[in-house]
């Protein structure tokens, strides 16, 4: 292996994430990767956060993941699948497939891994040259999410695969530093979370039954790490504070508080936040993986760091007080508790939380349509390219898919989608539906004014 590559492998992780920075209004963000990216969830969760926290700052996020991809595949499709979309931000990750799988069960596993790592680096050099030449976009490199080598699971154990992946992450980080690109380390923090939780529960994992593909919980952890790297931790949904004794507004962070009225031992006021909370999705949405996005809240401090909608009412007397929003009671608290502040972002009955749920579900519909498009492009890059049939989309192409679907599960999983997706008018229809959903999302996500009332609970 070349001396320069060896030097890259001795990069010491100091926790620096590089200059990632938040997205800005109008950004067109392409997330490039393998099947973990193609699944669509971590980038969808990132976009959901922006939809809810920055409803007046629309951005567009593209899924540019292709299952099974290594750096070599990404290099081959970079211009056609990514750069033609004219992104202003490119986020790139690879490594899970580059490091190999069954090779780690053979006697020459160590030397084979070094060869694969070297090949990955050499193809990455080609990607870097193309990214450098594409000046309109800033670049963000992500390490792969981890292969879970320590979970108690008899399946798919490839010893030392994690070490190879760590070396790939090392040269990715080194290149990011060299060029001043953003860097987000997913591999090490997620590995730490898994090993910490496995001390209590040996079958805990952020991946799934195959040790490779994260479920909804793992994808949400990935999104959390990305948002942290963007410097967005600590940005509240809103914080409203009122003095019940004087009727004065004490705090109005990322919101407006007006029309304070005192009376009968309580008070009410109008409240308009500039953001919405991030709702906890309790549905498992990935086939073969029971994880839910809400499961992640048990192992990461997302609520504390990103989801604080604080209501604080100082100067209430002793006893219990009922809080209602637009006439609907959302809970009861001691006056002292309200004086310290309660987090409305975790109360599912508030109108603003329910509004956020509608955005989440609209975003799920958008993602389902995008997954149809990605299934079409998977066939183009991973099936038709080798046959010299890219974008032919004729009956011969359909017949080829039908034939190979009988012996290739990956092709079989895309067959039904291709029956309709091979027609340009259908794909254009999917895109129009996606565009309509995005417009609807940015309409629905605009926060609305609410009336908050606090009154003593009658005994």
Closest among 131, 57, 61 to 92, alpha carbons compared: 131
Is the CA virtual torsion 194, 197, 198, 201 positive or negative? negative
Q: How many CA atoms lie within 13 A of 227 on its CB side?
A: 27
Q: Are strands 28-33 and 89-93 parallel, antiparallel or unpaired?
A: parallel
**Distance of alpha carbon 337 from alpha carbon 323, whole angstroms:** 12
The domain spans of the chain are 3-229, 356-444
Q: Which two tokens stand for residue 240?
A: 């409203």
Average pLDDT score over the chain: 95
Tokens representing 47 are: 């976009």
Instruction: Answer yes or no: is pLDDT of 14 > 60.
Output: no
Residue 416 CB neighbour total at 10 angstroms: 12
In Å, how far are 62, 139, 198, 221 from 151, measured between CA atoms?
A: 32, 33, 7, 17
What is residue 3's predicted lDDT score, i.e. its pLDDT? Answer: 42
For the chain, helix (H) and strand (E) counts, in that order, are: 15, 14
What's the rounded mean pLDDT across residues 259-271? 93
H helices of 295-392, in order, are 302-306, 335-340, 351-379, 385-387
Q: What percent of the chain has pLDDT over 90?
A: 94
Confidence of residue 264 (pLDDT cuts 50, 70, 90): confident
Fold of the CATH domain 3-229? Rossmann fold (3.40.50)
pLDDT for 431 beyond 60: yes
pLDDT value at 234 more than 80:
yes
Helix axis angle, 216-229 to 187-198, nearest 10°: 130
Per-residue pLDDT, averaged over 18-27, amounts to 89
For 263, the token pair is 């009376």
pLDDT at 4 over 90: no
By the 10 Å C-beta count (0-12 exposed, 13-18 middle, 19+ buried), 25 is classed as exposed
pLDDT at 1 over 50: no
Write the pLDDT tens digit of every residue in 30-68.
Answer: 999 999 999 999 999 999 999 999 999 999 999 999 999
Radius of gyration of the chain (CA): 25
pLDDT over threshold 60, residue 13: no
Least confident of 2-16, 53-67, 215-229, 421-435: 2-16
Report pTM.
0.94
pLDDT tier at 265, thresholds 50, 70, 90: confident
The reported pLDDT for the residue numbered 10 is 37
For residue 17, pLDDT over 80 is answered with no
Q: Which residues pair with 322 in a beta bridge?
A: 332, 455
9 burial level (CB within 10 Å; 0-12, 13-18, 19+)? middle
Strand segments, DSSP code E, in 75-205 are 89-93, 138-142, 182-184
Residue 406 vs residues 358, 397, 398, 413: alpha-carbon distances, Å: 40, 15, 13, 11
Q: What is the pLDDT of residue 207?
A: 96
- Structure-token pair, residue 153: 């699971």
Strand partners, 255: 273
Share of the chain above pLDDT 70, in %: 96
* pLDDT interval class at 263 (50, 70, 90): confident
Report the distance separating Cα 147 and Cα 120, nearest Å: 17
């Amino acid at each position: 292996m070349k001396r320069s590559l060896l030097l890259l492998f001795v990069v010491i992780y100091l926790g620096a994430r590089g200059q990632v920075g938040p997205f800005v209004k109008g950004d067109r963000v392409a997330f490039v990767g393998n099947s973990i990216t193609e699944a669509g969830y971590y980038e969808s969760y990132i976009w959901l956060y922006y939809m809810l926290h920055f409803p007046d700052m629309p951005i567009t996020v593209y899924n540019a993941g292709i299952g099974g991809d290594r750096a070599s595949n990404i290099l081959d499709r970079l211009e056609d699948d990514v750069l033609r979309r004219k992104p202003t931000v490119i986020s790139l990750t690879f490594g899970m497939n580059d490091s190999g799988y069954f090779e780690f069960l053979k006697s020459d596993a160590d030397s084979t891994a070094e060869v694969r790592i070297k090949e990955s680096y050499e193809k990455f050099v080609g990607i870097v040259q193309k990214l450098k030449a594409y000046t309109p976009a800033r670049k963000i490199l992500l390490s792969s999410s981890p292969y879970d080598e320590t979970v108690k699971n008899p399946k798919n154990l490839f010893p030392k695969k994690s070490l190879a992946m760590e070396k790939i992450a090392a040269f990715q980080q080194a290149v990011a530093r060299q060029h001043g690109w953003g860097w987000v380390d997913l591999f090490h923090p997620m590995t730490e979370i898994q090993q910490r939780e496995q001390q209590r529960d040996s079958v805990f994992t952020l991946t799934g039954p195959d040790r490779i593909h994260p479920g909804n919980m793992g994808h949400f952890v990935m999104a959390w790490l990305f948002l942290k790297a963007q410097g967005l931790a600590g940005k509240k949904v809103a914080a409203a504070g009122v003095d019940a004794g004087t009727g004065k507004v004490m705090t109005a962070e990322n919101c407006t508080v007006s029309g304070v009225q005192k009376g009968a031992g309580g008070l009410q006021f109008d409240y308009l936040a500039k953001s919405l909370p991030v709702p906890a999705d309790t549905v498992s949405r990935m086939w073969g993986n029971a994880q839910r996005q809400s499961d992640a809240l048990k192992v990461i401090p997302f609520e504390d760091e990103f989801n604080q909608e604080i209501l604080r009412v100082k100067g209430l007397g002793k006893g219990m007080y009922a809080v209602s929003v637009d006439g609907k009671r959302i809970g009861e608290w001691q006056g002292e508790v309200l004086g310290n502040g309660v987090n409305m972002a975790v109360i599912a009955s508030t109108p603003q939380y329910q509004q956020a749920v509608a955005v989440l579900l609209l975003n799920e519909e958008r993602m389902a349509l995008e997954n149809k498009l990605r299934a079409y492009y998977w066939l183009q890059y991973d099936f038709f390219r080798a046959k010299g049939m890219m974008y032919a989309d004729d009956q011969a192409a359909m017949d080829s898919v039908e034939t190979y679907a009988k012996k290739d599960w990956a092709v079989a999983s895309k067959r039904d989608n291709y029956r309709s997706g091979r027609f340009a008018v259908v794909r254009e229809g999917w895109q129009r539906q996606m565009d309509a959903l995005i417009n609807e999302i940015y309409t629905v996500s605009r926060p609305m004014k609410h009336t908050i009332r606090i009154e003593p609970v009658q005994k």
